[in-house]
Structure 1
Amino acid sequence: MTVEPELDVWFNREVRPHEAAYRRAAYSISRDRHISEDLVQDAYLKVVANDQWRHLASPKAFVLAVIRNLAIDLARRTSRGPVDRSVDLEKLAVADLAPTPEASADQNQRLARIEAALDSLPPQCQRVVRLRKIEGLSPIEIAVRLDISVSTVEKHLSKAMRLLTERLAPEPPPASECRIIPWPQPRNLPRRS
């Protein structure tokens, strides 16, 4: 199965960070380490095969639901033993983590700021960054596609990262919000004799 680069980036950002929670949930249902690992891997396959992955409001909750359904299906097929269907997902700290409206707005603002910073890069730097960071191409593949040397690709990437870091650095607070903390004055201590 070939995974498109955009899906790979999304998966590593949205799904993989919660792997410990998935393993805990799978183990709490199956009570078997090997089966729980299989459940998590099978759930990953289902997520990657899902054409609607871009539209998942809470990828973590989706993976947990897939794990639970896979465990139930496995129990039906193998009749190895009961599956604990009463597992309270909230106790496992796996409740639906859909972002609040404020968090969504904040994320949209950050995304707009990143897009603006990308758009402000010189055209060739912008192309190289998009090919490397968004499409996931290697420097060699970028060099071939743009008909430039690998060294030039690396220089464009370096320049772009420096510019993006500068442009995306947090803005300092206005001077009116800054508080000056005085340096402590030395105490008059008695001299040693």
Structure 2
Amino acid sequence: MPQDLLPETLPVHIDSLRRAARGMTRTREDAEDLVQDTLLKVLARPRQVGPAGPGPYLHQALRNTHVSSLRTRDRRPVLSPLEPEDTRLVAPSGGEPIEILHTREIIAAINALPQAQREVVAAVDVAGFGYTEAATQLKIPVGTVMSRLHRGRARLATYADAA
């Protein structure tokens, strides 16, 4: 015989729901959120539970809420964080407009380089590191710094000639 689910009977089951939610989510904070979401859904409208009482009903509601949240999370697009912008490669805000334009063109040309060359050109020509210091910072041999710098500068010269 179904019986009404009374809000005053819920506090007895909260500890059991928290333990079950902790097993499902693996973190205390997520478990608390899951229990809270479940209780909000259950209390949103009148419910009737079976002869076993509110315990099994609440645990099934907890499981259903958890599965629904997983499905919702899986449908969301995965966002990746933006790469931090290298402040050394930002055009200065002051100066003559033509200087700013040239600086932006150079920065755009540096950004167009392959990553390995871009890192070396930024380290040596923009940041002012020496070859040894750049090699240490980038964790590559000094010879590699010199060859990447040569190729990067040659490519930049090609961009400058084309412009």
Q: TM-score range by the shorter chain?
A: 0.3 to 0.5
TM-score under structure 1 normalisation? 0.34
Q: Which has the higher contact order (CA 8 A, sep 6+)?
A: 1
Which structure has the larger Rg over C-alpha atoms?
2
